[in-house]
A and B are shown apart, each in its own frame.
Chain A
Amino acid sequence: MSPLDRIANMSTLKQHDIVKLYKVEYKATVSLSDQLCFLIRPRIQTVKWICDVVNADKAVGRFRRYKIIFTPQRFFACEAVLEEEGVFGDVTTDEWAFYLLPLDDDILSMELPEFFHDNFLAGDQRWLRTVGGALHLLHSVYGPFSKLYGIGSCSQMTYEWWREQVEQGEQGARPAEIGSVFLIDRDVDFVTPLCSQVVYEGLLDDIFRIKCGCVEFGPDVTSSDRSVKVMLNSQDKVFNEIRNEHFSNVFGFLSQKARNLQTAYDKRQGMDIKQMKTFVSEELKGLKQEHRLLSLHIGASESIMKKKTKQDFQELLQREHCLLEGFEIRESISFIEEHINRQISMMESLRMLCLLSITENGLLPKDYRSLKTQYLQSYGFDHLLTFSNLRQLGLLVEQQGAETLTVMESKVGKLVNDKTAGKITDAFSSLARRSHFRALSRKLNLVPKSDEEYDLRVPKDMAYIFSGAYVPLSCRLIEQVLERDGWAGLEDVTRLLNGHEFAVTGGSRAEPNSDAQRLVLVLFLGGCTFSEISALRFLGRAKGYKFIVVTTAVTNSSRLLEALLGNHA
C-alpha cells in the first residue's frame, strides 16, 4: 500500500476525472489522455523520465498538457532538469506539502525512507527542511511545546530551522497539547534497528514487510489461494492486544482468544428464537469479524514459526545476544563466517557483520579482510561498493589498530625487544578496541545481567522487546533525559555519542502534571523500528507518559541495509 492509497483511493481519484493511474517509471507512456499529471517525489531521475515523455510527444507532434506535482516540495535541482531538457513551461509544476501520514493513534510517518540514505550516507540536507516543516505543522496545530530535547546533528539543525520559523511566524495563544518533544538522529543508535525483532509487530514487519500500516498476507497465512491485505493498527482488536507482546506470548494469547470465541459462539446452543435473533443482530457480526482477524493472526504466527525454525532462529538470536553482551566474540565470528560460507542470507550476513562491527567498535584488520573476502565470494564482487558505503557510514569498519597507538606505546616499543613490543601492541589494540557501544552499554545499563531469569510475560523493563537481552539505546536515552529533564549527568554518554545534544525550555509552561505535559512527541530522523515503538509504549505505561512517535519512515534492519547496498546501478 502506498501513501496515496491511504489518502485517496482510485474511486476518489476517478471522481476527480482521473482516468487511469500509472506508475512513473522508465518507459514510454501508453496513456491516450491529453492531460498527464505526475505526482512524484522530487527526484532528478523521475523528472528526467517525465522529460523523456514530453520530448517523445513533441517529437511525434503530439500535444498534451503536463503537470508535475512535487511532494512534499519542489527542488530547484528538479526544475533545473526541466529547464535543461527544454520542457520548462511545457510542464507546469506544483507542490503538495504532504508531511505526515497517521499510521495509528500514536504513529505519524513522513513516509520518507530516502531521508536515511540522502542524509546519512550522501550528506545531503535536503529533507531537513521537510522534517522541520512537519515539526512546525505539529507546533502550529498542537503547540506550543514546553520543552525540546534532542541529540544528533540533524536534530540540531532541524531544531534551529524550526525555531527560525517560529520566530518569523506569529504565535497565537493556544492551549498546549504537547508537553515535550524529543528529536533523535538514527545514527545515534544503529545497534537497535540492526537487531532481530521479536515483538509481534516488529516480527511481522521483518517477515512480511508492513507498508503504510498495511500488510499483505500470502496464501501460506490465509490458507486459501488468495492474498489478503490487512490494516494493522489499534482498530484491529486482536492485533492491538498482541502487537507489543514478545512473540513467545503470542500463541498463548491467541489460543485463549480462540477458546473465548468458541464459548461466545457456543452461547447460541439452547437459545430460543428471540434470543437467537438478538444474538445474530448484535453479536454475530462482531464475533465473525474477530474470528476472521484471529484466524489471520494465527496463520501469520504459524508462518513466522515455520520460517524461523527453518533458519535456526534460536541460534541466530543467541549469537546476537552474545554480540550485545560482548561475550564469545570468536564464536560469533565463526558463526557469521559459516553463514556466509553457506550463502544463507545475504542480508542476514550483512546485518550480523554490521552488528559485530558496531558492538566491537570495528573489526580487527585480519578479520575484516577475511570476512569481506568471503562475503564478496559468496554474494558477488559488486558488494565492494556496499562495503564502501558501510565503511563511509561507520557501520562496518576496520579497527585502526596500528595507526592509533599511543605515544607511550611507541616509546615502550623502543625500549623492549620486538617480541615483547608485539605483545604490548596486542594489549594496546585490545584496549583501543573497547568500543563506544560497550562503554555506552555499561553507563546506561543496556544489557541486563544475564544470570537473572527474565519473565517475558511480565516485562520489567524495555529489554523485553529483545527477549530481555538488551534495552534499546535510543529509548533508554529518551527515558533518561525525560527523567532528568535534560542532559545533566549524561555528559559521559553524550561525549561517546558525538555530542550535538540540546535541551531547551519553550515559552509556555503548562501545569507540570497536566495530561498535555505527559504527552511526549518523539521524532526519529532516519526512521525507527516497530520494536522501538513498542518499547516506548512500555515506557509510557510504566512512567505515565503518552508517546507519539513521528518518524521519517518506519524502518527495520533490511530497509536500513538495503538503502546502503551498492550493487545496483
Chain B
Amino acid sequence: MGVLTKALAPPTGELLGMTDVVFFAETIEFHDGDEKNHERLVFTDKYQVNGRKSRKHLHVNADPFRAVWPGGGSAATRGGAVSPLREEGSRRPPSKKNQSGGRGATAGGRGATAGGVVCTVEMMRSKADEEEYWHSSKFKAFTFEDEDEELSRLKESKQAVNSIRQLVEEDDDDDTEKVSWSGEPVGSISWSIKEMAGSNQKIDREPAFPRIPTEPSTLNKSHSGLSLSSLFRGKAKSENFQSFSDAFSDSVRIYAPELRKPKSEYKDYVCDWSPEETVQRLLQGKAVSLEKFRSLQDKLLLLDFAVAAHDGNVITAVLIHLKRSLRKEVLFRELQSRQTALRHFIHYLTESREQKLLLELLRALGRTEDMALLQYKEHLIITDENNKRDFLKSCLSLPFSAEDSTHVQDHYTLLERQIIVEAADRQAERGGKVDIFQKFPRKASILNMPLITTLYYCCFYHYGEPEGTFSSPLNVRRTFKISEKQYFVTALAARAKLKAWSDVDALFTGRNWLGFTRKKSPLSFHRVVDVLQRNSAPTQVLQDYVALIDDAELRISLAQKLKCHDIVISTFRDMKDRQMLVAYRGKVEPGSAPERKIDDLLNNQQIRWKN
C-alpha cells in the first residue's frame, strides 16, 4: 500500500503567462501490487480522494516525450507531489500552459506517508485526439537531498518540454496534444488518468490558488466521471496501450459530450471527420467520436455509410449512437426505409435482451405477428409451471396469425391439463393404492411434455377412463383434435409397451367409434408390426399382423426375420414357389411343426408348382 498524490491545477485562464504554475494536490491511495518491488505499482480502481472513494481511469501510455517535474515546494498547498492539469473549462490547449509554466511545483510532501513522490510529466502529441493522459510513475520516494539526480532530471525534462514547445509552435493548427504524467524508469508502472470536461468546470470557479477542496461534495462532483483502470502487469506493450487508450477515449467522449463549447472553440478540439471519414475510422477499429454528429442528416449519413461498408460491427456501433441520441419514434421511422440497418438493430436488441424496445419497434413497423411470437417466447424462461400457465393465458390475446393462435391456445390448454393430471397422479403414486403406478413407476413428470407424449402417458396410465376425465385419452384426443392416425399410433405404442395385447387387438377391431374392421388400420401393417416388435411382442401376436401385410415380398421378408414360419410357408404356397419352400425347409428346426407342414405341402399332388 502506498500513497500517491495527484495535483490539480488551478484552472483559470490567468494561469497563462505565469512562470510558476501552482498546483494543488490530493492524496490518492493505491494498492501496491508487488510489495517487494517498488518500481512497479499496481493500482486499484478504488482509492481515496480526501477520504472519499472515487474512481479514475488509470491509463498506460507510451510516450515519446517525457519530462521530469521535480518537487518544487513553492506554492503548493499540501499533498505530496504535483502534476499539471489541463484546464479544460477555458479550452486552452495543454501545450500552451506548459509553455507558460514549463515546470511544476510540488509541495514538500509532508502530508504524504511516503514523504513525497516524483512525478514525471508525459507530453504526448497525438494525431487526432485531444484527450489528455495523466501518467504516473514509479513509486520512488523523493527527497530534496537527492539533488544531483533530480537536477539532471530537471534538465532533461526542461529539454523535453522545450522541444515540445517547438513542435507546438511549428504546428499550431494541431491543437490536439495529450498531456500525461509518467514515471520513470520506463517499464515501471505507468498510468494515466483521464480528465473530463465536467471535472474542471467545477474547479473553474475556484480561485487561482485554490485550497484543496475540503467540502467532499465539490471533490466528489468533480471526480464523478473519472474512472481508473489498470493493465496486467508485465504485458505492457506500447501498441496495446495505444489501442487501449483509443478505445478509452472513445468511451469518454460518449460520456462527456462537449456541450458547452462555443462552435469556434469546439472546432479546435474535435477533429472534423466527415461522416464518411468517421465510418472509415470505425472500420479500421479506431476510436472516433460520434457525439458531434448532431443533425439527423449527419446521423443518417453515418448510418448509410456504415451500411454501404458492409460491416455489421460498425453498423451496430452507429445504431447504438443513434439509439442513445434520437427519440425512438424518430429512429424507428428512419429505420423503416433502411432494411439492413433495421435487421442489425433488431438483432442488437435481441442480443442485448431489450425486449421492451424491441416490441415497440415491431409494433411501430406493424409486424404484429413477430411481436406476438416474441412475447410468446418469454414463456421459455419461466420455470414455475403455474406462472407459465398464467403467462400463456395472457398470450392468448396476442395478435398471432389465425393458425398460430390455435396452437398457442392448445399450448395453454395442454399445460393447464398437465398441471391437473400431474397433481392427481403424483398423489395416486404416493398413495400406493393404484396398481399401475406401482408396477410401472413414473420416470418423469408429465409437465411441459409435448402433446403426443401426454397422450401416450394417458394411454399408458389412464387408458380405460371414461371420456369425462381430464386424463382420459379419449378426452385428450377430442380436446386437441388429434388425427385418427396419430391417436392410433400412440395408443398402439402405449398398449404394446404394457403388453396389453387384447387392447392392441381391440384397436383394430372392437371399437365402434374408430370404425375399424379387422383388416383395416390407419397405419400400414408393416409399421404396426414394427411398433409391436419394438415392444417385444411374442411371435403369436406378431404373426397375426404380419399376415395382414399386403405386399408379398415385404410380408415374406418380415416373416422370415420374425420367424413367423406359417406365414412364410403359406405365402410360398400361394406363390406356387416350390424351390423357395424347399430352401426354407432347411431353415426351420428339424422335426418341428413347420417342417411337417412344408413336407405336407411338398407332397400335395394337387398344387401346381411353378417350378
Contacts and interface: CB of A to CB of B under 8 A. Distances in A.
A163 B407 CA distance: 49
B188 interface: no
Interface stretch (B208-216, B348-356, B501-509): B348-356
Interface in B288-330: 309-317, 320
A384 B352 contact: no
A378 B493 CA distance: 14
B451 interface: yes
B377 A566 contact: yes
Contact of A89 (B45, B340, B352, B377): B45
B310 A157 contact: yes
Nearest to A389: B373
Contacts of B57: 89
B483 interface: yes
Contacts of A189: none
Contacts of A378: 450-452
Nearest to B241: A92
Contacts of A558: none
A154 to B, nearest CB: 9
B240 interface: yes
Given A76-B316, A122-B346, A378-B450, A45 B351 contact: yes
Interface string A74-89: 1111011101000011
Interface residue range, chain B: 35 or more
Nearest to B254: A83
A567 interface: yes
A127 B527 contact: no
Interface in A52-104: 58, 63, 65, 67, 73-77, 79-81, 83, 88-95
Contacts of B403: 369, 372
B316 A77 contact: yes
Contact of A79 (B251, B310, B482): B251
Interface residues of A, number: 62
A91 B58 CA distance: 11
A486 B350 CA distance: 40
A128 B310 contact: yes
Contacts of A83: 251, 254-255
Best-surrounded residue of B44, B45, B313, B314 (most CB of chain A within 10 A)? B313
A92 B232 contact: yes
B404 interface: yes
B523 interface: yes
- Chain B residues touching A, majority SS: helix
Contact of A118 (B347, B490, B493, B531): B347
Contacts of B233: 65
B380 A93 contact: no
Contacts of B404: 384
Interface in B12-44: 31, 42, 44
A335 to B, nearest CB: 10
B113 interface: no
Interface string A164-181: 000000000000000000
A374 B347 CA distance: 30
A312 to B, nearest CB: 8
Given A43-B351, A378-B450, A125 B344 contact: yes
Contacts of A58: 45
B485 interface: yes
A369 B493 CA distance: 25
B456 to A, nearest CB: 8
Contacts of B315: 125
B313 A90 contact: no
B407 A373 contact: yes
A93 B247 contact: yes
Contacts of B285: 73-74, 95
A123 interface: yes
A77 B312 CA distance: 10
A125 B312 contact: yes
A381 interface: yes
Contacts of B143: none
A201 B233 CA distance: 46
Contacts of B489: 338, 341-342
B473 to A, nearest CB: 14
B480 to A, nearest CB: 7
A124 B314 CA distance: 11
Contacts of A44: 348, 351-352
B407 A381 contact: yes
B227 interface: yes
B397 interface: no
B426 interface: no
Interface string A542-569: 0000000000000000000000001111
Contacts of B320: 76-77, 80
A123 B44 contact: no
B376 interface: yes
B311 A129 contact: yes
A377 B312 contact: no
Given A63-B46, A75-B313, A129-B310, 9 more contacts: A35-B232, A37-B232, A65-B233, A89-B228, A91-B229, A123-B343, A160-B310, A161-B311, A374-B486
14 contacts: A44-B348, A58-B45, A74-B285, A77-B316, A89-B58, A89-B227, A89-B228, A95-B285, A118-B347, A341-B490, A343-B452, A381-B411, A381-B451, A569-B380
